[in-house]
């Protein structure tokens, strides 16, 4: 199949994702950006937040990306668990932009402080088992992201919350986190953890071993006889709070299913990334989560797409083929004549026999131009091969999910590191422009 055929073939029509109506709709209160690692989720979330704010909405962007790129691009020295207002945006439409980065442990601490009296909160926060749990228990980060989202939404302080999902192995782990942490904190496990105090002796240690088998490496950090005491103290102090975790998790989960939430799957035009994107789309459908569409990032284009790779390579080969230049007989006779040899007009010792300086200079320029043109043609052929691969990748996705609207964002020459760059990304998202040929 030729490149022209690939470019002309459409496996499925591409529905255009209309970003501005989504951001402008006052009923849209939460936008969740999800996707595999390294596809530009954080940049996309920040660009959407900036665009919505400059169109008149009061926005907070919640990132869970520890690389701090969001803070740098927004001109903030650092982000923490408190929303920080972003300066330098166009607020003529009445909007505001705030940004924050999830502090997993601090969020857990805030839950304890909000749902326990001062004495019990101090006992929990100082407990070694709690400190291990809050800092490193599997799923804690994703659960705390859900908690923070629930907190932000309950305040009703912002028109729009844009969420950059955690950089976990599966970008939809945060959907499972409430169930996993809820299972850890449910009544049955709590009874297991309390059993040693009620039974004691060898039987008690057997119960403790059962409890330990249900935990991750957090328990491994605690050794010796102090372990049992720490666990019992933690369970006793947290006993009144366990039900609240599950209740809030269920409420946030329903919030994600509500009509005011929109999920955007972010991907690059690469096979692995779009395969993950297809999985996200299917998983969101299975969970009844409202999908707005796919953002296809870092898409390459060409201003000369009508020149195929094959034609460009053929033209380059023609330019690079050696050419035979016939010399006039008269010049050859002149060079070989005795009268010409040794005359005052003969070339110097460093000159090439028979060379005409004007003619040779023109030939050199011509060869240089041909070599440059051939190199450019080969670069264009490489670009067209890349476009062909990206289009096939997009076509595979749209053939599987023709119902999903797509917004394409052109690849930029460098990283986005300021508000101008984020604004450019937002403009490209809303441009209704296909970077790949139709």
pLDDT digits (tens, 9 = 90+) for 258-296: 999 999 999 999 888 888 899 889 989 998 999 999 999
Categorize the per-residue pLDDT at 431 as very low, low, confident or very high, splitting at 50, 70 and 90.
confident
pLDDT digits (tens, 9 = 90+) for 334-380: 445 444 444 444 444 444 455 555 555 666 666 778 788 888 888 88
> Higher pLDDT residue, 115 or 168?
115
> Higher pLDDT residue, 127 or 17?
17
Of 79-93, 296-310, 350-364, 388-402, minimum mean pLDDT range: 350-364
Distances (CA, A) of 437 to 269, 309, 313, 376, 394: 13, 14, 20, 21, 11
pLDDT digits (tens, 9 = 90+) for 187-246: 555 555 555 544 444 444 444 444 444 443 444 444 345 665 676 677 766 666 666 777
Measured between alpha carbons, how far apart are the two ends of the chain, in Å? 16
Q: Is the pLDDT of residue 129 over 80?
A: no
Pick the most confident of 156-165, 216-225, 407-416: 156-165
Q: Is the pLDDT of residue 1 over 90?
A: no
Whole-structure pTM value: 0.74
Please tell me the predicted confidence (pLDDT) of residue 303.
74
């Amino acid at each position: 199949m030729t490149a022209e055929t690939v470019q002309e073939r459409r496996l499925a029509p591409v529905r255009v994702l209309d970003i501005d109506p989504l951001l402008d709709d006052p009923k849209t209160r939460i936008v969740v950006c999800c996707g595999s690692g390294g596809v530009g989720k954080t940049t996309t979330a920040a660009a959407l937040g900036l665009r919505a704010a400059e169109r008149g909405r009061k926005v907070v962007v919640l990132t869970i990306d520890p690389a701090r790129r969001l803070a740098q691009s927004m001109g903030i020295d650092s982000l923490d668990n408190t929303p920080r207002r972003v300066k330098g945006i166009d607020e003529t439409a009445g909007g505001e932009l705030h940004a924050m980065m999830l502090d997993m442990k601090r969020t857990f601490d805030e839950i304890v402080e909000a749902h326990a009296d001062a004495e019990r909160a101090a006992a929990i926060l100082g407990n070694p088992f709690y400190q291990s749990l809050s800092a490193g228990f599997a799923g804690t980060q994703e659960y705390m992201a859900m908690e923070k989202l629930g907190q932000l939404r309950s305040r009703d302080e912002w028109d729009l919350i844009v969420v950059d999902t955690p950089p976990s192995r599966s970008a939809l782990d945060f959907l499972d986190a409430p169930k996993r942490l809820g299972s850890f904190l449910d009544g049955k496990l709590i009874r297991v953890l309390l059993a040693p105090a009620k039974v004691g002796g060898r039987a008690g240690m057997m119960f403790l071993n059962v409890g330990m088998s249900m935990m991750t490496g957090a328990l491994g950090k605690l050794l010796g006889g102090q372990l049992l005491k720490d666990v019992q103290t933690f369970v006793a102090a947290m006993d009144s709070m366990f039900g609240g975790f599950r209740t809030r998790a269920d409420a946030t989960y329903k919030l994600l299913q509500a009509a005011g939430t929109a999920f955007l799957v972010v991907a690059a035009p690469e096979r692995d990334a779009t395969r993950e994107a297809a999985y996200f789309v299917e998983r969101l459908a299975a969970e009844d989560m409202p999908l707005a569409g796919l953002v296809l990032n870092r898409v390459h284009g060409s201003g000369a797409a009508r020149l195929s790779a094959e034609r460009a390579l053929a033209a380059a080969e023609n330019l690079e083929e050696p050419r035979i230049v016939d010399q006039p007989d008269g010049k050859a006779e002149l060079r070989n004549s005795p009268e010409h040899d040794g005359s005052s007009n003969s070339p110097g010792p460093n000159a090439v026999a028979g060379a005409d300086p004007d003619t040779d200079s023109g030939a050199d320029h011509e060869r240089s131009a041909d070599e440059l043109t051939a190199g450019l043609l080969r670069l264009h052929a490489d670009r067209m091969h890349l476009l062909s691969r990206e289009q096939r990748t997009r076509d595979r996705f749209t053939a599987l999910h023709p119902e999903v609207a797509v917004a394409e964002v052109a690849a930029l020459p460098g990283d986005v590191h300021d508000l101008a760059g984020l604004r450019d990304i937002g403009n490209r998202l809303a441009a209704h422009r296909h970077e790949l040929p139709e």
